[in-house]
Structure 1
Amino acid sequence: MKKILIILFLLSTLMLSGKMEIIEQNAEQILLRISVDEYSLNEFNEFTELSFPDWNFTLDVGAPNLPVKKINIGVPPDGDIEVNIVSTKITTKNILKPVSPVPGIVESGKTHDYIYNIDPQKYIESNQNFILKNKPYIFRRFNTASVIFSPVIYHSESNEVEICEEIVLEIRISGSIDTREFKPDKVENIYKDFLVNYDQARFWRENIIPEISKVPFEKSDFWYRIETEENGLYQIGRNELEQLPEFYDINDLRLFTMYREVVDVETLAYNFKLTEIPLFIENGTVYFTKERLDDDRLNLNENNIFWLTFGYDDISLPERIKHTPLINNANPVLDFERKIIVNSKNSRNGLDGVIIYPEAGVFDSQSQQLADLHYELNFELKSQADIFDEYAGGSEDPVAIKNYLEETYSNNPTLFYCVLMGSGTRNWGDEEKNKIITYALSSNLNTADDNFCIFTGSNLPSLAMGRIPAKNESEMDFYIDRITSYIQDPTPGFWRNKVLILPDDENKGGGYEGFGYNHGFNHSARAQETGEALNEEIYVKKVMAFEYGFDVFQNKPDARNAMIDVINDGCLVWYYIGHGNDDVLGDEDYFRGSQHMGLLHNIDHLPLFIAASCSVGEFDKLSFDCIAEKLVLHEDGGSIASIAAIGSCSGNQNTDLIKYFLESLLNDITLHTIGYSLLDAKISLGSIYGNSKQYHIL
């Protein structure tokens, strides 16, 4: 019988969509044949929809919705690929209606809806090449080059489509192909699925040493945190200096701060840089000048925090102000406090994961309990407060956590898991729900915990991320007790072999959607497809919403009751497919977090809850807890963990991700964790990662 492994929780020919066959392969060349053997073109309303089962589709709203496949090739550290088309088999078809656009997603009724609007410019500029080569990037020490195969070229002016039913590619690999020492990783199977030439590329891995700036706490035993306010001259006077030990030498003092530096002028991505601030010393008082260092384009508050030290392990001389400042105008510092250095050298090796808790005294004991529970894994525990100090000079900034994780991974190539201990919101502040900071790359993009582990030179996450959305000690204690009981005192029974799937009906706004078997809104078909993909030893119970009638409020309480009965009786996985938002599954109110939690009495049969739906996992709202959060903290049952999207996301891409995830989790003869299987799915479906990134483990 199956049991979800809870740590994030411990719950030669390659087949893709169609067929991809390696005809010949050596270290310098791959000859690849890709066959597109199943597709259809269907007229639906005013558009022609392209049906390519198991293919990914583009995500550019308003552009033609065309199938794509990403092919990843491992290359040497200094290498790249050259791609040549050897042969093609192309069919040309004329269509009466334009190819349907990638839909936009808007709020509609209780949930969301698709809006199909053609962007004329994007149709004119639609890709006219079957093959596109991307720049190399890095994924977990693999230098990776990728090829995007687009089997359909659409000519919008003539309403003509060219379909490449077969293509043979010659891929030449450049660079130093000499083999290097091969050290197996615990997640080798992910790489085997990810890279076409894994058997060769595994010998080309290299450890990338990132250029990460931080406060060098390891160079001295004495550090003092200084807070300031507006720009100007400041003084560190007798009251502050008396806190230093008697043996310090005032002429040995140094002062440091960190500032944000733009590293990408287009996105305004930034990183932190360390700088030493010159001092002026006179009559036992220390003076320094605070001035604007951050780039004004960032629209962020500059760092008001400085770090004073002595006994600094460096042969260079301390920086000094070369002119005499107007010391009579000096401002007093706002705060002066010694920092006790804890585990600052980050010297542990062989780590499997890190657990980040808010600060000393907040979730630190529970973090140790979680690490002890997974005794087979080697965890480092680190406080967010220490990370902010060391990697952002004291600024509360998510880039600090990213830099900490990137450096830790560089020192520990086996690192795979990261657990964030505490809730967080997009409105970071002192509120109870803000325990671990969230990370959105810009103000118009959704929060994504994956952003913490998309390291320099990569566009994919390198770690399996998870967050325990507890707001206070009581909730965290409850969750740790729950997961401990699940692992150490499991409830036996057939329920551990049962998967519940509830697909939304195809009713929307009084009409019907999802015509055609492969349409993203044919939720019933996606449920059937997922059930057929699972191991035959798994009993799949489907509650088909279309089989149930409406009440006077256009809801389906009988479908809800049927679903609740299965959950309370016990199931390993509870999977919903369809429309949703942070409080409701479906316009038909199959489940509403604010009303129906009391119907769940399954404390001894906790499932993994999954929603292939918009916003069911929107955990970053300050004033509201989403369904995914509520389920893992429901006292009388709920779920052992939740996987759901934080924002709007796309039908087929959602179900493709979860189908791959469930196959990895339940079908593989090797038991995998939830974190492993979700990262496996995100990486393997890399061409739709922009959609997969929405999904979090709570």
Structure 2
Amino acid sequence: MKRTVSTLIILAFALGAFAHIQVQSTIGNQINIAFQLNDYNIATENGFATIKIDGMEHPMQSGAALLPFMELKVGLPLSGSISWSIQNKSEEQITLPQRLLPVPTMWEEEGMSRMSYIIDDALYSQMPSDYATVMEPDAFRGLRYVSLRIHPFIYDGQNGLTILKNATFNIQIEGDIHYRGQPEPDELSELMLSQFINPQQAKSWQSHSRQTINHAPFAAADYWLRIETDKKGLHKLSYQQLNALPLADIDPRTFRLFGTGGDLLSYTVQNPGPVFQEIDIWVQGEEDGHFDSGDAIIFYAEMRDEVNKNRELIGPATALNPYSKNNVYWLTFGGDFANPPSRIQDLTTPATWQNTITSQTMNARIEEENHRREQWGSEWYMSKLFGNTTADYQYPIRLDNPDNTKDITLTIRLRQEIGRSDLWHSIHVFVNDVEIAPPSGSTSFRWLGSDTYIFQRKSDSFVHGDNTIRIRVNRTEPDNLLLDYISVDYTQTLRLPEEQYLIQTPYIAGSQDLRINVNGSLGNREIYRLDGFTGLNRVHPQTEAQSFWFAASTRSDSRYIIAESRHFHSPASVSLANPTDLTLDNRQLDHIIIAPQEYITQAQSLASMYDDFYNLSVKVVDQADIINQFNGGHPDPVALRQYLRHVYYHHQAPRLKGVTLNGLGTFDWRNHSRQSTPKNKLMAFQIGETTSDDFFAMMSSSSYPELVIGRYPVRTASELDNMLSNYRNYVQNPQGGWWRNSMVFLGDDLYNGSQTDYETIHTQQAESAANSVNPSIHTDRIFAWEYEYDEYQNKPGARDDMVAAINEGRLVWYYVGHGNADSIGSEDYFNGATDMGRFNNPDRLPFFMVPSCKVSQFDHWGFDSLGQKVVMLNNLGAIASLGATRMSNAYSNHDLMLKVLDNLANKRNYLGYSIMAGKLGTSALSNNSFYVLLGDPTLRVIPPERDSLLNITSPEGNPTLQSRQLVNYQGSLASYTGSATAETRVLDSRTFYNLDMTTRVSQPGKTIFRGDVSTLDGDYEAAFIVPDDITNGETGTIVTYIWDEQAKRDYINYLYPVATSDQAVAAENLAPPEIELFLGSFDYREGDTVPTKTTLLARISDDNGINITGSPGHNILLVLDNSIQPISVTKYFSYQQDSHTAGILRYPLNNLSEGPHSVQLIAFDNFNLPAVASTSFMAKKSSGLSIDRLLIYPNPMQDEARFTFILSQDSQLDIGIYTVSGKRIRHIKTNGRQGFNQIPWDGKDHNGHRLANNTYFLKIKATSGSQSVEARERIVIYK
């Protein structure tokens, strides 16, 4: 192990490999592990010490010390656990030059993510004091495990650091290791097993316990009415409202009503979900067996908008359900049910009772969802109390029969709008114009900063009926406050109103007989006891002069409601439904596609592609059908997970592996913003402040997704058509080429906007990511650090180089750095608002990987994220994106993305699998959940199949590539047996350099040879000459690429590393290169007229090959019209097939001005001997298809002639030879090229006879698309 210490003020480059773990033995319940800490580096950055080591993870908690650690997963038997001990340890104590760097605090300023390094002393004092920590046991697809976190660095919170250099860890598994489960091997279980240190043991312990997933038994009846209610209380269903049913054929005694209560569903993964319960009803008139026009159904309905129904929300309590207001009930009749229909029963009045109730605890609350403070989370605010001067804000609130002898408590929740944290706030609060006294010693209620302020005070100024709450905000400067809600807790005297009256009894453990006294005349009202939301029973009262009482056995969930028929509510809607029973189909499924009804047809098309392309068993499911069956019709994203869990646990094996979500969704599903409805297609799953599609895919644990998952983030059918077309084209009709073996990496620069902290992390992470992929893959490395700012403090040069690479074609587009929802980098490397038109990459769509903040925040109604925008273009942009929905941690981002890249690029796994592998291989669970795949999870974004069956030989017998050396190479493509043309590229050693004293980066080596080579049964051999411009190094690469057009697959043959040397071998150089110049075609002649858009063609040859390294002073240069700024055109040269001495340069000349032009080309051979060639020509703008300068030579002719002419476009040619009488005697069909053309004629007719002396006519017709043009000329034959 090597350790270095640097006290420079910038982060030092990480050295060496990562900490090494080797399992020495697994015997019974004992596992022995050898630990070896490899090279690490300690440096200082912005006044902090930092530890740099590859292959370890980093903590996430802001303010904690950034201590690297690693996690090992240990498989467990049922109810198992582990203990550990350490032996043979070697450790070292050092003193750090400064305290350790803290985990950065992420925040946002001026629309861009920011990092601040602020130590939390409490967290620094809680650093791990032992070399290992056992985490909580968990499970994944039936595999139980526990993580052992190893801490090689023990930190005292100040300057002391103890380093574990090597040790032996002894792990003991507690539990029944002889237990044998029922292993169900599948690729995802095997993926998790690959993370375990005891995979064989863990595999034998795999076991799934059957999970109960509650759902509606829709198959039990043929007819179902869906009933929505928007009020709380007793409801009446009339004969007219049920006329969609065949009432004449129904025995009303078989009516049944069902519901789930409408509570927000629990986020707990292992939860059976809501029970679809039958509800007690009163069917008026059912006794005669007929449901007549005067008959009705009476039932009690809840509302979703109550605080106690939404307590599952993480955050402040709210009365408003985030997904819907109305409760949903289901009415049916007959059917196949085990129990008789539930009806209201009469209760017996108890003779005695334990307590008498004369009042109840009440809450009056005003709350609306009108305004947002943050762009995520469940918090909405009712009002803006904004202003620069003191102002009053009034709110009415009603209290019914408050008991003023008891405490009445007013609660107001306020929070400062995002802004200053040093601002003092001051308010006065009045109830019915009576001020609530401020605290002793203060003239007002005051608080500091932007945290939530809860005002809670008692007041005796409330009255029965309407009250006014007035809030006075005292201001001497701008102070913007947001009001969440106003709540009043009071005791209500029981007094009967002129409406339904609900009485909430106090909490009772078990049950008690209670007497309840109510003031007021009962009249024709009836009293019912409610138990939960299903039980409804009639209570018999005892009346007195101006009051009445009743007594009944009362439970903790019992309430009482008093009403008469005229008070009954009517449902908000009643409709005949035809719910699908999804549980009837239990066939084996690999994949589920969930879509809203409007996308079902397109989803079925996608399912067909899954079947055709990957032989997947797929089911398309309507989101509404899931919500109906797994949550009683109440929208809730947990319902979608419950359905997926049902399929996972109850369908035939092999178990479900993946899910695709078709449609966009926002966290404003109820459209409080008045803008979100167009984007609310497929629900977004938000827990607390985090939106993640991973939450849908958790089957048994909240740690990791257990299904691969991706989302098509579309809001219109046309957007979905674009994405489906891109998917089909990418999979079914891929375009071969080197782009599939190339990636572009862009690292953010040193400074983030106006921040002055010196950030090298993104540059180093870009270098690290590029280094992590197989060396046969070409990597463009764009370090924004190296580019100049423009006048707007942007770096357009970095953007242009990145976009140029994307448009040329790259398999992966990778950006690491700061970002926001619509752009990457404060320097505007790519902006979704202005740069989408820069894409010009049809059929070469990259996978966009973005370890940055918020780039895929798809769930906000007010904007589209960059991660969405790039994947929704028609055959442009990206094929998919992987980005964060929220602010994310730079260190954890990098840990995740390295794992994803490894699985995608090196192991060639499909997207969903690669992303899951990245998440399973890292422990930053909350940060990982931010990252969502916008695109299809089944996509194979993989480089060509590769092998290293490639060898080199030289006359000198030296494996090093030396200057002027003739090198022969031979290769064999292991998986390809065809005979297509391959292309070989030979690269010099990588260039390593320092951006500052310690930040070391690299660039790929220069191309020293690029040429086509013939293959036979996958074998090939060829040669190249090493140029003088080669450098000394050990990282040269030779790569041969082949595209099998028939199979639509590609292959790579490579050799790495290859040593390179500028030490020349003896070789002769007798002459400079030979150069021939052409415009448009090789039939070009000096002085020809060509279109203003043409191609420069150059045949270049030399016995020692052509220098294509692009080295300074030795580029192939083009000088147009004697310009003093030559153009480097080196990359446009490629050797001819099987040649290392001659090749063709093709360079497009676009937008030439009309008139005369000259071209000069300078090229060097590999020994750097130059040659120059030039030509002159006329450029003429063509408004359409034309044939110019038609000539016949010779004319008169004897036996043979040539027809020469210039075409403005590539065309199909129809050539006829005619006699003077107009008879066609020869017909020639061929193709013509833009520019100069020459067609030979042998002087014969179509029968092969030579023509006699005479005059004939030539007619040439050129056709291009819908355009055609003709030209004629006379021919004289004279022998």
TM-score, with structure 1 as normaliser:
0.91
Matched, 1:371 2:584: no
What is the distance in 1 between the residues matched to 2:214 and 2:867? 36
Aligned CA-pair RMSD: 2.5
Deviation at 1:263?
Answer: 9.0
Superposition map of 1:200-239 within 5 A: 200-239=201-240
Match of 1:415 among 656, 659, 662: 656
> Cα distance, 1:201 vs. partner?
1.0
Q: State the match for 1:677 in structure 2.
A: 914
Residue 557 (structure 2) pairs with residue 557 (structure 1): no
Partner of 1:352: 590
Question: CA shift at 1:462, angstroms?
Answer: 0.7
The structure that is strand-richer by fraction is 2
Q: AA paired with 1:673?
A: Y
TM-aligned CA distance change 1:138 to 1:424, over 3 Å: same
Alpha-carbon offset, residue 86 of structure 1: 4.0
Match of 1:460 in 2: 704
What secondary structure does 1:331 align onto? coil
CA deviations 1:565-595 (Å, max 9, x no partner) are 1111111111111111112111111111100
CA–CA distance in structure 1, aligned partners of residues 644 and 140 of structure 2? 14
Aligned length: 670
Contact 1:75 1:143 in 2 (8 A): yes
Q: Which secondary structure does the structure 2 equivalent of 1:363 belong to?
A: helix
For 1:173, give the aligned amino acid: I
Change in CA separation of 1:433 and 1:511 when aligned onto 2, cut-off 3 Å: closer
Q: Which has the higher contact order (CA 8 A, sep 6+)?
A: 1
Check whether the contact 2:140–2:192 (CA below 8 A) recurs between aligned residues: no
Q: Specify the alignment match of 2:342 in structure 1.
A: 319
**Matches of 2:277 and 2:199 in 1, distance apart?**
42
Provide the rounded CA distance (Å) in 2 between the counterparts of 1:373 and 1:291: 44
Structure 2 residue 574 is matched with structure 1 residue 336: yes
1:474-505, CA deviations, whole angstroms, 9 ceiling, x for partnerless residues? 11112112211222222121211111111122
User: How big is each residue's C-alpha offset from its partner over 1:399-431, in whole Å with a ceiling of 9 and x where there is no partner?
Assistant: 111211122111345312111101111221461
Partner Cα distance (1:680, 1:260) in 2: 37
Q: Is it true that 1:620 corresponds to 2:864 in the alignment?
A: no
**1:469 alignment counterpart:** 713
Residue 341 of structure 1, CA deviation: 2.8
Cα 1:600/1:256, change in 2 over 3 Å? same
Q: Which residue matches 2:72? A: 71
Counterpart amino acid of residue 274 in structure 1 = F
Instruction: Identify the range of structure 1 (89-98 vs 114-123) with the bigger mean alpha-carbon deviation.
Output: 89-98
Query: Equivalent residues in 2 for 1:418-497 (5 A)?
Result: 418-429=659-670, 431-442=677-688, 445-497=689-741
- 1:381 equivalent in structure 2: 620
Aligned to 2:815: 576
**Equivalent residue letter for 2:894:** T
Q: 288, 292, 300: which is aligned to 2:299?
A: 288
Range moving further from structure 2, 287-296 or 532-541: 287-296
Distance 1:379 1:463 in 2: 14
CA offset at residue 507 of structure 1?
A: 2.8
- 2:102 is matched with 101
Corresponding letter in the other structure for 1:178: Y
**Cα separation, 2, equivalents of 1:152 and 1:310:** 69
Alpha-carbon distance in structure 2 between the residues aligned to 1:662 and 1:288: 58
For residues 28-39 of structure 1, what are the structure 2 equivalents within 5 Å? 28-39=29-40
| Equivalence for 2:827 | 588
For 2:453, the equivalent position in structure 1 comes to: none
Secondary structure at the counterpart of residue 260 of structure 2: strand
d(CA) in 2 for partners of 1:208, 1:692: 27
Say whether 1:272 aligns with 2:274. yes
1:542 matched residue in structure 2: 781
Secondary structure at 2:722 match in 1: helix
Asked whether the 8 Å contact 1:55–1:69 carries over to 2, the reply is yes
Query: Which residue is equivalent to 1:7?
Result: none
2:556 equivalent to 1:310: no
Q: 1:91-126 CA deviation, whole Å, 9 max, x = no partner?
A: 222224222221101124552221111122222233
How far apart in 2 are the matches of 1:597 and 1:580? Answer: 16
TM-superposed CA distance for 1:238, in Å, is 0.9
Give the C-alpha shift of residue 351 in structure 1: 1.2
Alignment partners' CA distance in 2, 1:264 and 1:593: 37
Matched to 1:690, the amino acid is S
Give CA-to-partner distance per residue, 1:483-532, whole Å, 9 cap, x none: 112222221212111111111222334677566xxxxx422222222222
CA distance in 1, matches of 2:326, 2:697: 24
Distance 1:186 1:155 in 2: 43
CA distance in 1, matches of 2:835, 2:265: 48
Q: Counterpart of 2:360?
A: none
Aligned partner of 2:591: which letter? G
Worse-superposed segment, 497-506 or 273-282: 273-282
Kindly provide the CA deviation profile for residues 308-331 of structure 1, in whole angstroms up to 9, marking residues without a partner as x. Answer: 123343322322211347444322
**Could you say which residue in structure 1 is the equivalent of 2:170?**
170
Change (3 A) 1:162 1:273: farther
| Cα distance, 1:512–1:117 mapped onto 2, change above 3 Å | closer
Contact in 2 for aligned 1:451/1:461 (Cα 8 Å): yes
Secondary structure of 2:815's counterpart equals strand
Q: How has the CA–CA distance of structure 1 residues 39 and 382 changed in structure 2, closer, same or farther, with 3 Å as cutoff?
A: same
The 2-side partners of 1:113 and 1:236 are apart by 58
**Residue 271 to residue 259, structure 1, CA distance change in 2 (3 Å):** farther
CA distance in 2, matches of 1:561, 1:265: 45
Letter in 2 for 1:322: Q
> SS where residue 529 of structure 1 aligns?
helix
More helix by share: 1
Counterpart contact for 1:105–1:648, Cα < 8 Å: yes
TM-score, with normalisation over the residues of structure 2? 0.50
The CA distance in 2 between the partners of 1:347 and 1:259, in whole Å, is 27
Distance 1:173 1:181 in 2: 20
Give the whole-Å Cα distance in 2 for the aligned partners of 1:271 and 1:344.
16
Decide whether the 8 Å contact of 1:357 with 1:364 is kept in 2.
yes
Whole-Å separation in 2 of the counterparts to 1:541 and 1:457: 39
Contact 2:228 2:326 in 1 (8 A): no
Query: Structure 2: how far apart are the matches of 1:189 and 1:538?
Result: 27
2:712 matched to 1:689?
A: no
Report what 1:567 is aligned to. Answer: 806
Q: Answer yes or no: is the 8 Å Cα contact 1:27–1:200 preserved in 2.
A: no
User: Is the 8 Å Cα contact of residues 48 and 98 (structure 2) preserved in structure 1?
Assistant: yes
Whether contact under 8 Å (2:265, 2:274) holds in the other structure is: no
Whichever residue aligns with residue 600 of structure 2, its letter is D
